A and B are shown apart, each in its own frame.
Chain A
């Protein structure tokens, strides 16, 4: 795990708040929708690193080596435990 990313205690940041190229770590997934279970099975679990490739109502993120398209409802389900201000930009 990359220790340079400081945990943001009490932070309510979600996947929607990530800007293009920003990387953050997942805190948890809220079960607002039935499909949220799928997010967990795909690897959106505590500590997983996620990178925003293309923000938007339907965004593209990278989780590990997987690129995923997510609608806004599902973006709202993913809570992050990283302070966005500290999130490093994407390498490259």
Chain B
């Protein structure tokens, strides 16, 4: 969770506000560069982005979620209006507003501007997409618009760098901009109700609240005209919020005040009628303003975007294009990120070896090499995947295609309680749940987003593959079926992927009933015009998401890695050290000087044996023994239980841990030696330890469990609470256990 420090004295905080798809974030990025922070708003999953104006101190910009209106409907819009009304603890003071307006949707954007002007704060307007309008034969003159609106207006084209400097200059001197004034003449009954409310509030500004919570009853600014009692009066935007907004009877609202606004709403023939009348008045004003500032009327005929939509939203052709795009994104994070991840992994391994060689052997060296560097490596290895995925998301979102994907899939995903936008996070999770969960940020509905986050870890990620390969190749004999078209092993691998998908569908149907419906939004989505994404924005989005992950999830992952290292390293019984020192001395004494290769091999085997002996005696080993009664019904012994416990930081760790337990160093899933030792491992009574049913139960457990500290850390970060990672871990572990047990019992019945 971020710390929401208010701006230092003398620093101006500007809210960047605008409709969605106006190029608001692109402009914010251009104005602040990498000099920005991303976090969640307290208690929400919505991104909070703030940064300082590049090249100038004293001006801080806060990128608020896109909004069509101050009458908030979605979680995002609610945050925006709360911030602007000064009711938010995240940004208690907003001094001025930078309103980003899309010139191609001027009417709708002016609607929001008319509301912002009623906040009575200094406003600067940035006009985007002017070039698109120009291509349609309509010229907009920023100076003329400025005259009509009575506000500074600057036309910007971020990709070409036009207007950004000029805008920065105006923002730097924001104190010279006068507060905006209300421009819309409201319908008479509404205005009369507002006047009555204003009179009552002037007499008692704290009246609306029961609790007098600080900030809640506070008028938004001190810039409004004072009243006889010397207290500033709330601006019209806030009065309208009280009168027509979400003020419902609850503990924080004064009963008398609630009765008053309810009576006023009834007098207005219901808030609904008043909403429509208010909106009509604002659109009338927008129409009048547009008549003065546009060189020509825009014909609403078919544009290029309409033609593209004929294909891209078509029920058949649209799905074909979408399948291709999804395949490219999946391929990118699954395969293209591979060499980069290998490079990061090799770099970290090299660093570990180098540091290990510098330091004398012992606990400190092991902590640094296996705990810290290993832990950092397990975090850094995700960097390429997150960077690539977020670059793709930025491209798809900026060019307008993500909205079409949401449209295409919404009907199907809605049946599972998800959103059309859940697809990309879920498909990405087949490569890795960490970027997948982060990608769920694109989903507006809180409920849909939470469901997506909870389901993403069930998709079979690439870390499960080494476990599947080791178990299948070691314990499942190959048999060709379906006339030579398919092998049992390949079929089993596909089945493992399907287990996760099937479980996700069942869990989705269950959670859909359990999770509160609050926040479940009806599908209402703007399909923006297609346009070229900005390279700068794309790269910046990838870089910021990666930085955010390394900083926030990284620390938790590192802490867990060090903890697991300590459990696997301590205690160090002197008896083992003495036993292996004696054996080492024996080899050194016995071997002839000519047989140095044999001696080295014997010493290496001894070192592997020593590591295994220590691990078996460690706290982790004791945990394995302690949990043996629990894992016994799955067909596992304490060694498998210990390996599973050790793989809590990451699933793939089980392979290396099994290697250490069976006295092998550097074992991976393709190691023939490890396969042979696993096959020959036995119970104390001589029965084989791992049989096909046991291998199947291990695979099913790993397909469904949440043995991945990175995933849990990122769920915590994205939901802003420890509750959801705890829920994920508990329900997935229980489900994995039940499924593994069922698999073991059923397969033991048929296979043995």
| A interface residues, Cβ below 8 angstroms from B | 28-29, 31, 33-35, 37-43, 45-46, 49, 51, 53-54, 57-58, 60, 62, 64-71, 73-74, 90-92
User: B619 within 8 Å of A by Cβ?
Assistant: no
Check: B484 CB closer than 8 A to any chain A CB.
no
Residue B96 lies at the interface, judged by CB distance under 8 Å to chain A: no
* CA gap between A40 and B403 in the complex, in Å: 21
Q: Is B111 an interface residue (CB 8 A)?
A: yes
B159 in the interface, Cβ–Cβ < 8 Å?
Answer: no
The contact string, 1 if C-beta is below 8 Å from chain A, for chain B 294-316, is 00001011100110010001000
Q: Do residues A29 and B276 form an inter-chain contact, with CB atoms below 8 A?
A: yes
A35 with B73: CB separation less than 8 A: yes
Q: Nearest chain-A residue to B315 (Cβ)? A: A56
10 contacts between A and B (CB under 8 A): A42-B108, A46-B280, A54-B313, A57-B411, A67-B528, A68-B527, A69-B406, A71-B522, A71-B523, A92-B301
Query: Is B107 a contact partner of A64 (Cβ separation < 8 A)?
Result: yes
CB-CB under 8 A for A66 and B407, given A35-B73, A41-B279, A60-B313: no
Q: Report B-chain residues with C-beta under 8 Å of the C-beta of A66.
A: 105, 108, 526
Whether the Cβ atoms of A45 and B521 lie closer than 8 Å is no
Contact, CB under 8 Å: A70 / B108: no
A64 / chain B contacts, CB cutoff of 8 Å: 105, 107-108, 300
A91–B411 Cα gap in the complex (Å)? 29
B242 interfacial contact with A, CB 8 Å: no
Q: Which residue of B lies closest to A48 (CB)?
A: B283
CA distance A7 to B524 in the complex (A): 27
Give Cα A1 to B276, complex, Å. 19
Enumerate chain B residues within 8 angstroms of A73, measured Cβ to Cβ.
Answer: 522
Number of A-B contacts (CB under 8 A): 102
CB distance from A30 to the nearest CB of B (A): 8
Total B residues in contact with A, Cβ cutoff 8 Å: 37
C-beta contact mask, B384-397 vs A, less than 8 Å → 1, else 0?
A: 00000000000000
B104 on the A face (CB < 8 A): yes
Take A31-B272, A54-B313 as given contacts and tell me if A38 and B526 are in contact as well, using a CB distance cutoff of 8 Å.
no
- Residue of B298, B403, B525 with most chain A CB atoms under a 10 A cut-off: B525
CA distance A31 to B111 in the complex (A): 20
**Contact indicator A46/B276 (Cβ below 8 Å):** yes
Residues of B within 8 A of A65 (CB): 104-105, 107, 298, 300
- Contact assessment for B305 and A67 in the assembled complex, using a CB-CB cutoff below 8 Å: yes
Question: In the complex the two chains form, is B526's CB within 8 Å of A40's CB?
Answer: no
Is the Cβ of A60 less than 8 Å from the Cβ of B309? yes
Contact mask for chain B residues 275-287; partner A; CB cutoff 8 A; 1 contact, 0 none: 1100110010000
Chain B residue with the shortest CB-CB distance to A51: B300
List of 9 A-B pairs having minimum Cβ-Cβ separation, nearest first: A71-B523, A41-B69, A67-B527, A69-B407, A69-B525, A31-B272, A38-B73, A35-B522, A40-B279
Contact B526 A68 (CB under 8 A): yes
Which residues between 62 and 90 of chain B lie within 8 Å of chain A, taking CB atoms? 68-69, 71, 73
Output the least CB separation between B681 and chain A (Å).
Answer: 55
Within 8 Å of chain A (Cβ to Cβ): is B608? no
Q: Is B131 an interface residue (CB 8 A)?
A: no
| Residues A38 and B276 in contact in the complex (CB < 8 Å), given A51-B300, A64-B108 | no
**Which residue, A28, A31, A42, A65, has most C-beta atoms of chain B within 10 A?**
A65
Centre residue among A45, A49, A92 by max chain B CB count within 10 A = A45
> A35-B524, A39-B524, A67-B528 are known contacts; what are 16 more A-B pairs with Cβ within 8 Å?
A31-B272, A35-B73, A40-B276, A42-B108, A60-B309, A60-B313, A62-B300, A64-B108, A65-B107, A66-B108, A67-B526, A69-B406, A69-B523, A70-B523, A71-B523, A91-B301
Which residues of B have CB within 8 Å of A28?
A: 276
Within 8 A of A (CB), among B475-511: none
